[in-house]
Amino acid sequence: MDKQDIAELNILQEIDSDGKSTQRELAKRSGLTLSYLNVYLKGLVRKGYVSVRDMPGRRLWYNLTPVGIAEKAKMTLEYMKWSLAKYQDIRDRVRVVCQKLKQENKSNIVICGVSDAAEIFYIATLESGLKVVAVVDDSRAGKKWLNFPVNEVASFKNNISYDFIIIGDIDNCYELAQQLSDLSISDDRYQVCTGQRIKAVTVVQVVE
C-alpha cells in the first residue's frame, strides 16, 4: 500500500465512524490537511465509494455506499497484510543495526524521531544490551514516549553523553537528518533505524 491508499482507508474509516462532520473535522480526524482531504474525498466520490448529502446549517453528510463498504473491508485486510510484512522487514533490519552498534561498542543511543519503527528499535536495543539515553522529537517535545521524556532535537547535543543517534521516524528521516546536520553533527554519527545512512542535504537559496 502507498500513502494514498492509507489516506483513503483512514477517510473511509472515519466516515464509517461518523459521516456527519465538516471537512475540517474529517481532515483533523484523518490526520490530513484540508486541501489533501478535499482531493481524496473527490476521488472517493468519483469512484462511487462515498455519497454526499446536504444537511441544514451548510453541513454535509458523508456516507459509505455499498461499494465503499466492501472496498473498506478489502483495504483493511490489505493494510493488515502490508503492516505485518513491513513490521517483519523493519525488525530484521533493526536487529542488524543493533548488533553492529554493539560490536562497535556504541552502547549509549539517542532516538531521534518517534514512530512505530522507533518502538521496534527500542525493543531491539533491550535485546542487544544497548541503552537509550535520550529521545528527541520536536513535534512531541514535552510529552512522554515509552516512559522517556521527549525533548527538542537541539536539546541533547551539549547536555547528554551519547555514542550514536538512530533516526526512528522513517517517513521524516531526511528532515531529521537536516536538523542534525544544522547542529553540526557529522553524518557518521547517525543513521535511520533500518540501516540506511543519510547525508543531509544543504539547501542553498539562490537570490537573483
The pLDDT value given to residue 200: 54
Q: Taking the domains of the chain in order of start, what are their residue ranges?
A: 3-64, 93-192
At residue 149, the pLDDT reads 93
* CA–CA gap between residue 138 and residue 116 (Å, rounded): 16
Please state, in angstroms and rounded to a whole number, the distance separating the CA atoms of residues 208 and 204.
13
pLDDT tens for each residue of the chain, 208 residues long = 788 888 898 899 888 888 777 788 888 888 888 888 889 999 999 999 999 887 666 677 888 999 999 999 999 888 888 877 777 777 888 888 889 999 999 999 999 999 878 888 888 888 889 999 999 999 889 999 988 999 999 887 777 889 999 998 888 888 898 899 888 888 888 888 877 776 654 444 333 3
Phi/psi for 108 (5° steps) reads -95, 115
Cα separation, 116 vs 110, whole angstroms: 16
Fold of domain 93-192: Rossmann fold (3.40.50)
Return the C-alpha torsion angle 158, 160, 166, 172, nearest 10: -50
| Distance between CA atoms of residues 23 and 61, nearest Å | 10
Q: Give residues with Cβ within 8 angstroms of 182, minimum separation 6.
A: 200
Q: Coil, strand, or helix at residue 52?
A: strand
Give me the CATH code for the 3-64 domain, please.
1.10.10.10
Indicate the length of the chain as a whole number: 208
